[in-house]
Amino acid sequence: MYLIKNAGVYAPEDLGELDVLTGGGQILKIGKNLPAEEAYGVEVIDGRGKVLMPGLIDAHVHILGGGGEGGARTRTPELMLSDAVSGGVTTVVGCLGTDGCTRTMENLLAKAKGLEEEGITTYVYTGSYQVPVRTLTGSVMDDIILLEKVVGTGEIAISDHRSSQPRKKEFARIVADTRVGGILSGKAGLVNIHMGDGEDRLKFLRYVVKKTEIPPSNMLPTHINRSMALMEEGIDYAKTLGGYIDLTTSSDPEHLDPDEVKASAGLKMALEAGVSPDHVTFSSDGQGSLPVFDAEGRFAGLGVGKVASLYREMKDAVLEEGLSLTDALRAVSKNPAALLKLPNKGRIAEGADADLVLADRDTLAIDTVLAKGRVMMRDGQVLAKGTFER
Ligand code: FWO
Ligand code: ZN
C-alpha cells in the first residue's frame, strides 16, 4: 500500500493538493490529511512540490516491432518494459503495421501477455495495414469477441501508397464488424486508422459518418499531424462531424517530413480552432518505423518511434505551447480511456486502477511511476526491468 501525500492531483482535472492511498492495485482513497497507518504496511511517498497524474495510455504501439520497408534489416526491435515505464506509460495497445506477414497476431498476443506479466496493462488491435484484415480466427468480429485482449482493429491503412487501396464500402464493413464485435463483447470496438499522405485523406471516414448509422467514436484516425493539410482536414472533421483525431508524437529529426506538425503544437492548434478537448488524443507509434519515401515512392531511410515521445509531447504542450496540464493530460489519459472503453484507466478516482505518475511540478520531470499499484520507477530511477533488461 502506498500513501502519496500532498501532491497536486490532476485527475486530469485539477483537484488541488490531496493525499492518495493505493492498495491491491487500486486507488482506495483520495482526501486531505489521510492518516499513514504504518501498521498496515503503508509506505508514504512525499508528493510536496509535485503533480500526480494518471498513468499514460498509449493507444498505438508496435510492441512486437514493425518496419521492414527498407528490407529485412530495417525490421524494428520490440518494446522493452522500461521504454514504457520511463515515459510514464502504464497502458499500451499493441498493433501491427506495414508487415502483416512476418509479424503475426499470435506473436502480438504473446508479446502483450509478456508485457502484462512484467507489470503494465496491455491490449491489442487485430489486423495490420492490410485489407482484407488478417485476423486470428478468420473474422474481425470473432477476434474481438473471443480474444480478451483484442479491443478493436488496426492499424488499417488508407490514403497511403502502402495500403491495400481498399474501397470505401470495404472500409465501412471493417468499421461495422469492429463496432458490433465491441458491442457484443463490452469492449471498445475501435478501428485505429493509419492515415498516409494520399490526397483522399479522411474521405472514407466522412463516408462512414454521413452514410451509415455508425458513430464517429468507433474510428480513430492516427498520424493526423503528418502534414499541415491533414492536420487542417482533421480539425474540420472533428469540428463538423464530431470526429476523433489522434496525433503521433514520435518524430525523427533525421527523417522529419518538412510538413509535419509537432503533436504538442497540433493539440494547441486544434483547441484554438474550437475542437472539443475530448476529441484529440496522442499516441506514440512507438517501435514503429518512421520511413521516408522520395517523390517517386523510393525508400529513403527510416527512424524508429519511441513510446517516451508520448510524455515529451504532453510536457511540451504545457511548457512550450502554454496549455493547461489538464488539457495536455486529457490527450494521453481520459480521452484514449474513453475511446478504448477502459473505465478504470486514465483517471485518478477511488476505485480506478493505481496507474500513477508523480512528476516535478515545474519541470514535469518524472519522479515516480506506479502501474497496477506497483512502484515501477522511484526518484527518477526505473526499478522494474523487463525479463531480459539489465
Ligand atoms: C508511420 C508504422 C508511417 C511500421 O507512415 O505507420 O510509416 O509498420 O512499423 N509509421 N509503417 C510513421 C509516420 C507517421 C511518420 C507506421 C510503420
Ligand atoms: Zn501508422
Tens digits of per-residue pLDDT, 46-96? Answer: 999 999 999 999 999 999 999 999 999 999 999 999 999 999 999 999 999
Among the residue ranges 33-42, 212-221, 290-299, 362-371, the one predicted with the least confidence is 33-42
Region(s) of the chain under CATH 2.30.40.10: 2-53+346-382
Asked if 77 contacts 29 with a C-beta cutoff of 8 angstroms, the reply is no
For the chain, the helix, strand and coil percentages under 3-state DSSP, each to the nearest 5: 30, 30, 40
Contact 312, 84 (CB under 8 A): no
What is the chain's mean pLDDT, rounded? 96
The pLDDT of residue 149 is: 98
Which pLDDT value is given to residue 39?
A: 67
Tell me the β-bridge partners of 9.
16, 52
Q: How far apart are CA 255 and CA 93, in angstroms?
A: 25
pLDDT band at residue 339 under the 50/70/90 scheme: very high
Residues in the chain: 390
Q: Is the pLDDT of residue 144 over 70?
A: yes
C-alpha cell at 112: 502483450
Buried b (16+ CB within 10 A) or exposed e, 66-104: bbbbeeeebbbebbbbbbbbbbbbbbbbbbbbbbbeebb
Q: Residue 38: its pLDDT value, please? A: 67
Which tens digits make up the pLDDT trace of 70-80?
Answer: 999 999 999 99
Q: Helix count (H) and strand count (E) of the chain?
A: 10, 19
Neighbours of 273 (CB within 10 A): 14
CATH architecture of 2-53+346-382: Roll (2.30)
- Yes or no: is domain 55-339 CATH 3.40.50.11540? no
Distance CA 379, CA 161 (A): 46
Three-class SS state of 308: helix
What pLDDT band is residue 36 in, cutting at 50, 70 and 90? confident
Mean pLDDT of 259-280: 97
Please tell me the pTM assigned to this model. 0.98
Confidence band of 252 (pLDDT split at 50, 70, 90): confident
CB 144 within 8 A of CB 182: yes
Determine contact, residues 93/123, Cβ cutoff 8 Å.
Answer: yes
Specify the ligand 1 atom closest to the Cα of 251. 15
- pLDDT-derived band at 203 (thresholds 50, 70, 90) equals very high
Asked if the model's pLDDT at residue 236 lies above 70, the reply is yes
Ligand 1 interacting residues, C-beta cut-off 6 A: 62, 66-67, 76, 97-99, 194, 223, 226, 248, 285, 288-291
Instruction: Name the residue with the closest Cα to ligand 1, atom 15.
Output: 290
**Tens-place pLDDT, residues 106-132:** 999 999 999 999 999 999 999 999 999
**For 202, how many CA atoms within 13 A lie in the half-sphere containing its CB?**
29
Rounded to the nearest angstrom, the gap between the alpha carbon of residue 192 and the centroid of all alpha carbons in its chain is 10
Can you give the pLDDT at residue 182?
A: 98
**285 among known catalytic residues:** yes
Q: Say how far apart CA 214 and CA 312 lie, in whole Å.
A: 34
> Residue 170 in 3-state DSSP?
helix
Q: Which ligand is nearest to the CA of 97?
A: 1
The answer to whether residue 41 scores a pLDDT higher than 90 is: no
Neighbouring residues of 219: CB distance < 8 A, sequence distance ≥ 6: 175, 190, 191, 193, 205, 208, 243, 244
Q: What distance in Å separates the CA atoms of residue 138 and residue 146, rounded to the nearest whole number?
A: 12
Parallel, antiparallel, or unpaired: how do β-strands 374-378 and 366-371 relate? antiparallel
Cβ-contact 277, 327 below 8 angstroms: yes
- Who's near 277: CB < 8 A, 6+ residues apart? 271, 327, 330
Distance 286 CA to ligand 2 centre (A): 10
Q: What stretch(es) of the chain map to CATH 3.20.20.140?
A: 55-339
Average pLDDT over residues 181-186: 98
Give distance in angstroms: CA of 129 to centre of ligand 1. 10
Atom of ligand 1 nearest to the CA of 287: 9
